[in-house]
């Protein structure tokens, strides 16, 4: 049996960053639902939280899991659940793109705290500002249409 501990910090937004997750109650229920569904699918979510237009999720990946499959399972099922239960005023969709960044064992507690404090964090900074910082901090390149 292999012993593996690989943490990935995933961040993704609502389609076009529309703030459809506009209440703490809705977000709390959504994060709980995502956790419950993840357990059924063998996905270990260490921490999850977000704000009105995005989600942060710290996942400990299993040996046979890929980032693409994790995002497909989490995002696809959760948007289906939101729409099935009519939890938003309009059709809910997650944006196709997402960030995925590895987290070293020494930084896990910092990432957990960051994810836990999303409500406070986004009183000072918009997701767009956070997005721009992530692009620079992690050296992601932007590809422009030609």
Query: Could you give the residue ranges of the DSSP H alpha helices within the chain?
Result: 24-40, 67-84, 108-116, 118-124, 127-137
**How many H helices and E strands in the chain?**
5, 4
Instruction: Assign a CATH topology to domain 6-137.
Output: Alpha-Beta Plaits (3.30.70)
Series of mean pLDDT values for 10-residue runs along the chain (146 residues): 91 96 96 98 97 97 95 97 97 96 96 94 90 87 58
Q: Residue 143: its pLDDT value, please?
A: 57
Residue ranges covered by each domain of the chain: 6-137
pLDDT in tens, 40-81: 999 999 999 999 999 999 999 999 999 999 999 999 999 999
Q: What is the pTM of this model?
A: 0.91
């Amino acid at each position: 049996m292999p012993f593996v501990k690989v943490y990935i910090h995933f961040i993704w937004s609502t389609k076009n960053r529309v703030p459809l997750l506009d209440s703490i109650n809705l977000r709390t229920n959504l994060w709980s639902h995502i956790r419950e569904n993840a357990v059924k699918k063998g996905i270990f979510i260490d921490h999850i939280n977000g704000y009105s237009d995005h989600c942060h999720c710290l996942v400990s990946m299993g040996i046979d899991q890929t980032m693409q499959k994790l995002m497909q399972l989490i995002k696809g099922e959760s948007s289906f659940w939101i729409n099935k239960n009519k939890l938003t005023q309009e059709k809910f969709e997650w944006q196709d793109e997402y960030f995925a960044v590895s987290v070293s064992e020494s930084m896990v507690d910092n990432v957990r705290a960051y994810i836990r404090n999303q409500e406070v964090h986004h009183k000072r900074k918009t997701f767009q500002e956070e997005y721009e910082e992530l692009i620079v901090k992690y050296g992601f390149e932007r590809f422009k249409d030609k």
